[in-house]
């Protein structure tokens, strides 16, 4: 398997978007982790689940398989748990696309804080309204329309909006 061929697989999969957030691609979200040559020479496409119970993962795997098939590419799809997916893998371009789509993009996670962080909830970073940019916003619910989003409301423009939670 030559590098050029792996590049073709990347190109074939480049257009695949998230089933629930159709403005960002799987690659931009960090779900599509790798395209590589397997030990037997077969192409391996590595994807990683977001939330453990994300119902979109089955659809994503199907979409990857269907795209590979329609492009005439023989490949194996591998679901890899480790390292665990994080919203930090989301590219800046993807975050900007989310904002334009009306979803506030995630803040950076803070992975190095010890378990003591669970004692009290840390002061929440302000989440900017994707419509008007105001940080005068409140959380309506930590759990929103999908596993990965929280529900917010802007107190200036009064618009309710989704916030892609840091994970």
Q: Identify the residue among 78, 147, 157, 159 touching another protein (CB under 8 A).
A: 147
Of 81, 92, 112, 123, the one binding another protein by CB under 8 A: 81
Q: Residues 71, 108, 141, 158: which binds another protein (CB under 8 A)?
A: 141
Q: Which residue, 4 or 121, is less far from another protein as judged by CB?
A: 121
Distance CA 165, CA 105 (A): 8
Q: Does 55 bind another protein (CB under 8 A)?
A: yes
Rounded to 5, what percent of the chain is helix, strand, coil? 30, 20, 50
Which residue in 61, 89, 88, 99 sits closest to 77, CA to CA?
Answer: 61
Provide the angle, in degrees to the nearest 10, between the axes of the packed helices 3-14 and 56-70: 130
User: Residue 53 interacts with another protein (CB under 8 A)?
Assistant: yes
Six token digits for residue 44: 């391996």
And the tokens for 66?
């269907």
Asked if 112 touches another protein (CB under 8 A), the answer is no
Residues of this chain that bind another protein (CB under 8 A) = 49, 51-55, 80-86, 115, 118-121, 140-145, 147, 151, 165, 167
């Amino acid at each position: 398997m030559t590098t050029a061929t792996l590049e073709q697989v990347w190109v074939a999969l480049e257009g695949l978007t998230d089933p629930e957030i159709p403005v960002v691609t799987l690659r931009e979200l960090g779900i599509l982790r790798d395209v590589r040559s397997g030990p037997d020479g077969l192409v391996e496409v590595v994807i990683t689940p977001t939330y453990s119970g994300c119902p979109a993962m089955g659809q994503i795997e199907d979409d990857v398989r269907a795209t590979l098939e329609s492009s005439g590419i023989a490949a194996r799809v591998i679901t890899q748990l480790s390292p665990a997916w994080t919203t930090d893998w989301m590219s800046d371009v993807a975050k900007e696309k989310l904002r334009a789509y009306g979803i506030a993009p995630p803040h950076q996670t803070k992975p190095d804080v010890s378990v003591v962080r669970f004692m009290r909830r840390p002061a929440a970073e302000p989440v900017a309204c994707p419509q008007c940019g105001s940080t005068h916003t409140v959380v309506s619910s930590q759990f929103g329309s999908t596993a990965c989003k929280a529900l917010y409301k802007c107190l200036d423009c009064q618009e309710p909006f989704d916030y892609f939670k840091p994970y």
